[in-house]
Amino acid sequence: MGKRTVGIISGGSGSSKFATALDNYHEVGKHDFAYICNVGDNFFFHGLYVCPDVDIITYALAGILDERKSWGIKEDTWNFVEGLAALGYGNWFSLGDRDLALCVVRTELINGGLTLSQATDRLRKYLGIKNKIVPATDDSVQTFVDTSKGRIHLQEYWVKMKGALRVSSVDYRGIKNAMPNREVLMLLSKDVLILPANPITSVMPTVSLRGVRKKLRMARVTAISPFIGKSVFSGPAAKLMRAMHIEPSSYGVAKLYSDFLKLFIVDYREENSEIVKIKDFGIECIKSNIKIDSIADKRHIARELMNIL
Ligand code: FO1
């Protein structure tokens, strides 16, 4: 039997540990993985195209992610941002020096005529990564949030303002005219895995692209919850879900994905009453240990996912 390619919809920080778990501990020869990455949090920083979720997955798969912060490159240095600060320039976004180098190369490749996905593929190969990393779209989709201080980009809301503002709604600017990459639609034909990620800022910008939902409804879609009870793995998921009138819990995520999700993996600490409510959507729901703190946890979840896929 030939190898099957699993299309993996991923965000950034919350997804990275699962990406390395799969990459390091899958059964060799059985599956290929292709990571479909969120582009909604991409933005320009001092003229450089920064793609945080694409980069977090890239660094995780290259084994160079700073796992403590869950973004950036481990043991990076900070001369660039310190230099900006010395010149009186805003340094609210801590782009490390080696991280900066990757953003410079990507920006130059794109200015030279490559699409974002071609540039990402080039960078993946430079870093010796075997599995594909596919930005969800090459078109511009940017997540903006309506806050008590007006409409601002997600990075500004989350990093500059530290997520402190009240949010009333979320807008994926450009989504109506954006096309998913052709490879994305192909990767969503059979086995699809959605890694734990902020459903509002990391998953929905991909799911809302033209034709994606329809593909997902026909595919075997498994998702891992980004929640354990009421607490989320990382980022502003709970606050943004509340702003969108979605309950910030595994149940709320299942409801949001209910038209295409077939199997939901939630944490073993989740209340049985939550599982019952999720199953009421017609979604199969199983418990596992989804809090990854050690290599043993990574091995365990990789084995579990291999059995399912
Ligand atoms: N997150 C922060 O909270 N503070 C930072 O200074 C920061 C810098 C940064 C640099 C490069 C990169 O790829 C990611 C970075 N992140 C930072 C993480 C990132 O902004 C968020 O985790 C996601 O975009 C949220 O979706």
Distance 242 CA to ligand 1 centre (A): 22
Is 224 part of a structural domain of the chain? yes
Note the pLDDT of residue 26: 73
- Residue given tokens 């009333």 in the structure block: 168
Regarding the beta carbon of 48 and ligand 1, being less than 6 Å apart is answered no
Is 295 part of a structural domain of the chain? yes
Is 221 part of a structural domain of the chain? yes
Distance 159 CA to ligand 1 centre (A): 7
Average pLDDT across the chain, whole number: 94
Residue bearing the bigger pLDDT, 111 or 239: 111
pLDDT tens for 274-284 read: 999 999 999 99
Is 110 part of a structural domain of the chain? no
Distance 69 CA to ligand 1 centre (A): 9
For the chain, how many structural domains are there in total? 1
Q: What is the mean pLDDT of residues 34-43?
A: 97
Which residue pairs, CB below 8 angstroms and at least 24 apart, start in 2-6?
3/29, 3/30, 3/31, 3/32, 4/30, 4/31, 4/32, 4/190, 4/191, 4/309, 5/31, 5/32, 5/33, 5/34, 5/187, 5/191, 6/31, 6/32, 6/33, 6/34, 6/191, 6/192, 6/193, 6/309
CATH number at residue 157: 3.40.50.10680
Note the pLDDT of residue 308: 86
Q: Which pTM value belongs to this model?
A: 0.95
Note the pLDDT of residue 104: 98
Is 148 part of a structural domain of the chain? yes
Domain encompassing residue 139: 4-42+53-65+131-308
Is 48 part of a structural domain of the chain? no
Is 210 part of a structural domain of the chain? yes
Q: Is the dihedral of CA 124, 186, 179, 60 positive or negative?
A: negative
**186: CB partners within 8 A, 6+ apart:** none
Note the pLDDT of residue 4: 84
Regarding the beta carbon of 159 and ligand 1, being less than 6 Å apart is answered yes
**CA-to-CA separations, 134 to 58, 95, 228, 275, in angstroms, rounded:** 10, 22, 28, 32
Residues forming beta bridges with residue 173, ordered by sequence position? 142
pLDDT tens for 77-104 read: 999 999 999 999 878 999 999 999 999 9
- Which atom of ligand 1 has the smallest separation from the CA of 162? 3
Note the pLDDT of residue 28: 64
pLDDT tens for 202-217 read: 999 999 999 999 999 9
Is 22 part of a structural domain of the chain? yes
- Residue given tokens 């990574």 in the structure block: 298
